[in-house]
Structure 1
Amino acid sequence: MKLFNSKKFILFIIGFACLCVFHSCAAIQSPSGGPKDNTPPFLLSSIPESGSTSFTGGKVELLFSEHLQEKSVINSFNILPKIKYSPEVKYKGNMVDIVFPDSLLSNQTYILSINRELKDEHGVPLAQGVQLAFSTGEEIDKSEISGKIFYNGEASSLLWKIRDSTDQINFYKRSPDYNVDASDNGEFVFSYLSPGIYKVAGVDRSISSIILDPNYSIYGLPSIDQITIDTLNMRQGGISILISNRPRSSRLLSAQWMSNRWGKLIFDSSIDEYKNIIPIDIVSDSFGVRAETFIDNIENNILHFVLPDSIGSNTKTKIEISPVYKNNHTVIDSGNIFARIPSEKDTSFLLITNINKKTVLEIEEESIIPLDIHFSKVMDKARLDSAISLMIDTISVDINMAKISPTHFQIIPSINWKPLSEYSLIINRDKIISHNERSIEDSIKTINVSTSRFKNFGSLIGNIIIPHFNPLIARLSSFEKENLFYDEIVNSESSFKITRIPEGKYDLLFFYDKDANTKYSFGHLAPYSASEWFEFFPDTISIRNNWDMEVTNIKFNK
């Protein structure tokens, strides 16, 4: 039997401990404490250097400031203009090797583009896309196009070099020649460009590698038709692009009958601007009729339609919409959907969908704010004249009622609301005369309405240094509330005043209303039309109640 060798055991323990310490020191791992690392990685150097000539292909070695996230490396590198075969990418720590093919065109400047998908090991992306250039000839193209994209998401800029007269029209039908990610503040730069004619667009980064659809892609265009570079060292800056938050065209997704004379259509995007001009025809084997329409009370992509008379239950119908055009572009696509009338009668109670038993109404001193009532069913044939009354304490208040749509009514007192007061809206079920529809469940429904203090406002006054475009519109847009903005035309004295603005923070945008429709035009790819010129005031506008905010001597960049 062998005796236990304590000396060897101790040596083994020491050796094992040293090995663990060495492994811990060598491993790449995040610090155990301290603030989170939000510093973007950046490129330290490349071999060969950017700007090298007589490049024949092969390996380009890139050294970054820190270790990279391995999974981010795969889709972060592109060669522009596009080459037949994708480059080989090799990764190790903070180094990346890009292997170009050896079948490159002669006298061509190639750009190695690094997009913002590239991240460090903590998931922090590049601050801005990077471009390196290598020329197979003796000279390298050094022209540049730069600008800024205005968008509420991550954006990329696409650039096409126009090849011929056909490509001038159909360029968007192919992949762009150049693609760079904009920085967090929207800035982009295309470097090392050769002489030629170019067209540029801004897109949401998620679709930057997809062929654009002129009607349904989310994109923006500049206010110029094209960019011409006619020298080897030309810099074209100041290209501003405003990306729309919705597609140029809307299309029908679904249709549903809600009753035997009322239905609704759901579109893929907002149709609010065109709600009154979308033609809807209801067709069956025995009849065809044009329906009346109205927008949904809440969702701006839902259009309701109502017929003058009822259709028999379980009747098969075809719901057709015809296309709507604006400035030679389709804004509402045509469509048709088959749908059957419900086989069973609606036995549900009538509901008021927008106000609860306790509702607070914000009121104003200079105008009477109506109280909106949204019904769950169409009330176009109902009589509500004596069914609704308004009380304050025990005193009846004279009211007028306005029908906004078959499901949307407004109660307007003849004398303005009293601030910080309690009102009662009373609905008498037995006095609602409806069209074979079930009424509200309770015989008497009472809704308590509290009023706020009188709402206060501020105003904005400004003047512009001439010359400037005419007509010019000043648009003040709220930071806090989407789609809340105030437009004012700049007058002949180059000044403007926007009144009755709620307190808050705003952006101030100026745009050239070239088509005189008081709406900003984002441009269109097919047929191509540039956007309207615009420029943002550089500072945030802070509006305070009962104050006149002034911005004076505004001077545009161009």
Structure 2
Amino acid sequence: MKLLTTLILLYILATGCANIQSPPGGAGDTLAPNVEYTEPLDRTINFNEDKVIIGFDEYMNRGKVLENLRITPEVKMEFDWSATDLNIKFTEPLQPNTTYAINIGTEYTDYYNNAPKKGFSMIFSTGEKLDSGSISGLLSAADTKGKYLFLYKEKEGIYPDMTTAQPDYFVNTGSSGEFQFVALKPGNYRLLAIDDKFQNRIYDDQVDSYGTALNDVTLTEDSLQVSGINIHIGAKSDYQGPQLISASSQYSGIANLLFDENLDRSTIVKENFKLTSTNGEVPIIGIGTNTKTSSELLIAFDANYAGKELEIKVTNISDSTGNKIQDTASSFKFLVDSTYNRTDFVISSTNLNDSTQKNVSPFFNIIPEKPIFRVKFSKIPDVKSLINSAYLESEGEKIELTLSSENLLDYNFKSENPIKENAEYTLVFDTKGIVDIWGLGLVKDTLYRTKFKTNFAPKYSKIGGDVTATNDCNGNILIRAINTSDNSKYKTTAVDGKWSFEKVTAGSFVFEVFCDENKNGEYDFGKVIPFEYREKYSKSKPYTVNENWEYNEIKLVLDE
């Protein structure tokens, strides 16, 4: 009997395993997936079931499908897969006389990561008719993938509070930024574009980046489809100034400052920082910023304060949105480290030599109006030892260069007077007396002499034209010109419908035009608290600007 039972079990296992099928296709499968059928059919009315089936024509990446599936209005549901069929079971009653829409965007894939050629959508109604209203448009952002559009319906003349209420409808956007809401009833709707950080479908103030639309959308029985809506995502709201959260010392003569957010770099100047000891003020040699983030600063000062307690006080600095530092979070005491930085002191970025007529760019920016020699050190130099260490020679004439710094390691030597085009010069850089703030000289101190010619200076152009607004602009019309060839940017305000830029580099340009209603000089993406619509905005077609060009016939239109 035991032997017979064992044979029966083996037979069942063998035949059962034989019925298990692997996904069709293989490594060479490149066909896009499709939806073969749905239950119920698309556009069904009087729907009274608690289940929907979406049948695909092949095995799917199930996680990707569920990530991209949305149903509006939102309803609680559970998912189950049966081979290539997705079973959706509603776990709460559907609303009566309501049209539901199921959408799956274009970001999902099949088992072999093939994406569909288009997204999937279907609608069905629990009543006797289908709501056919729709709102569509384009989201603009640095990266639109994974962002959301929230849609709120006006109820009894009031829109829901976006900080506490979830939207009536929502869709997420793919890499194209296109969005569409379907199966909408007639009524008034408000849009919000959002980077929903917590994925809670609630606007979280000072957490979520967002943007509002130019106005609300009204759907009527005579006008149920509204398209072409442009909306942009800006930065998150910020009402508080930066805070100094720590100050420390890694080496004698160096203080490391850390703020809770990025600072406006234009406010990072020595006048806004005060360093004191018990005996009085300590002179600040210089301030350096991290190239990637302006929330981290280095303060250089006299290295003879090793082992002493100092206090740093910060005033008048702002964050990137203009909020000034708070008095209660602007000072910090720290103990100066006793260690001197004894690592080798070298010039880490320069290629000066004696080759004739050599272009030393990027260390020398040969623009006749503003010749600049740039040098980078491995450690912080004593600024006093850099003064008069570099100058130009030409036809027996010595041209003095003034010193400035971009940060604690990068320094510029600049001629205050224009130099001649198509002329030969010698750059002299004497490093013999240069020392770091700890008194150590360069590992290799020498006299550099580099010859170059100024026969390749960039040629500037002058551009301008007219700007008109198709609707009233209750503010200034601002034009922002972006050279996409070299990423240079220019901004001006139109006067009596005219605008111009006196000096731009050559390249391919696009022009952004916006109505600066609050006259703050910046484009505003709108507000949630209190609610405000975004400012009117248009973007031009590309224009080509050539060298030494003067063209004043560019016509721009603010068409919102």
TM-score range, shorter chain: 0.7 to 0.9
Which residue is equivalent to 2:96? 106
Amino acid across the alignment from 1:243: I
- Name the CA shift for 1:261/1:365 in 2 (closer, same or farther; >3 Å): closer
Q: 2:154, 2:160 within 8 Å by CA — same for their partners in 1?
A: no
* Distance in 2 separating the partners of 1:117 and 1:523: 29
1:68 corresponds to 2:46: no
1:301 corresponds to 2:294: yes
Which residue is equivalent to 1:477? 482
Which residue is equivalent to 1:487? 491
Which residue is equivalent to 1:372? 374
1:134 to 89, 113, 124: 124
* Distance in 2 separating the partners of 1:291 and 1:222: 48
* Distance in 2 separating the partners of 1:261 and 1:123: 56
1:498 corresponds to 2:501: yes
Which residue is equivalent to 1:192? 183
SS in 2 for 1:180: strand
* Distance in 2 separating the partners of 1:449 and 1:522: 51
Q: 1:56, 1:102 within 8 Å by CA — same for their partners in 2?
A: no
Correspondence list, 1:228-307, <5 A? 234-244=224-234, 256-257=248-249, 259-265=251-257, 270-272=262-264, 275-276=267-268, 294=287, 296=289, 298-304=291-297, 306=299
Structure 2: give runs of 5+ residues left out of the alignment: 1-18, 354-359
Which residue is equivalent to 1:507? 510
* Distance in 2 separating the partners of 1:488 and 1:115: 40
1:546 corresponds to 2:548: yes
Correspondence list, 1:307-322, <5 A? 312-314=305-307
Correspondence list, 1:144-543, <5 A? 144-155=134-145, 156-161=147-152, 170-173=161-164, 175-195=166-186, 198-203=189-194, 211-224=202-215, 226-227=216-217, 234-244=224-234, 256-257=248-249, 259-265=251-257, 270-272=262-264, 275-276=267-268, 294=287, 296=289, 298-304=291-297, 306=299, 312-314=305-307, 340-357=335-352, 359-361=360-362, 367-376=369-378, 382-391=384-393, 395=396, 397-404=398-405, 407=408, 408-413=410-415, 414-416=417-419, 418-419=421-422, 423-430=426-433, 432=434, 437-446=439-448, 448=450, 450=452, 453-467=456-470, 469=473, 470-482=475-487, 484-492=488-496, 494-537=497-540, 539-543=541-545
Structure 1: give runs of 5+ residues left out of the alignment: 1-22
1:88 to 79, 94, 116: 79
Q: 2:257, 2:299 within 8 Å by CA — same for their partners in 1?
A: no
SS in 2 for 1:75: helix
1:77 corresponds to 2:69: yes
SS in 2 for 1:398: strand
Q: 1:129, 1:180 within 8 Å by CA — same for their partners in 2?
A: no
What is the aligned length? 524
* Distance in 1 separating the partners of 2:38 and 2:274: 64
Which residue is equivalent to 1:143? 133
* Distance in 2 separating the partners of 1:169 and 1:284: 55
Amino acid across the alignment from 1:179: F
Deviations 1:452-496 (A, max 9, x none): 6121234544433444534112222233555x312232231x233
Q: How far has the Cα of 1:273 moved from its partner?
A: 5.2
Q: 1:284, 1:316 within 8 Å by CA — same for their partners in 2?
A: yes
Q: 2:380, 2:437 within 8 Å by CA — same for their partners in 1?
A: no
Give the TM-score, by structure 2 length: 0.74
- Name the CA shift for 1:227/1:448 in 2 (closer, same or farther; >3 Å): farther
Q: How far has the Cα of 1:88 moved from its partner?
A: 1.9
SS in 2 for 1:382: helix
1:47 to 39, 51, 58: 39
Amino acid across the alignment from 2:478: I
Q: How far has the Cα of 1:233 moved from its partner?
A: 5.5
Q: How far has the Cα of 1:398 moved from its partner?
A: 0.7
* Distance in 2 separating the partners of 1:165 and 1:327: 39
Amino acid across the alignment from 2:482: S
Which residue is equivalent to 2:4? none
Which residue is equivalent to 2:13? none
Percent of aligned positions that are identical? 17
* Distance in 2 separating the partners of 1:165 and 1:385: 72
Give the TM-score, by structure 1 length: 0.75
RMSD, aligned CA: 4.7
Amino acid across the alignment from 1:158: L
* Distance in 1 separating the partners of 2:427 and 2:125: 79
Q: How far has the Cα of 1:533 moved from its partner?
A: 2.0
* Distance in 2 separating the partners of 1:92 and 1:194: 36
Amino acid across the alignment from 2:83: K
2:113 to 106, 123, 128: 123
- Name the CA shift for 1:420/1:170 in 2 (closer, same or farther; >3 Å): farther
Q: 2:366, 2:372 within 8 Å by CA — same for their partners in 1?
A: no
* Distance in 1 separating the partners of 2:276 and 2:121: 58
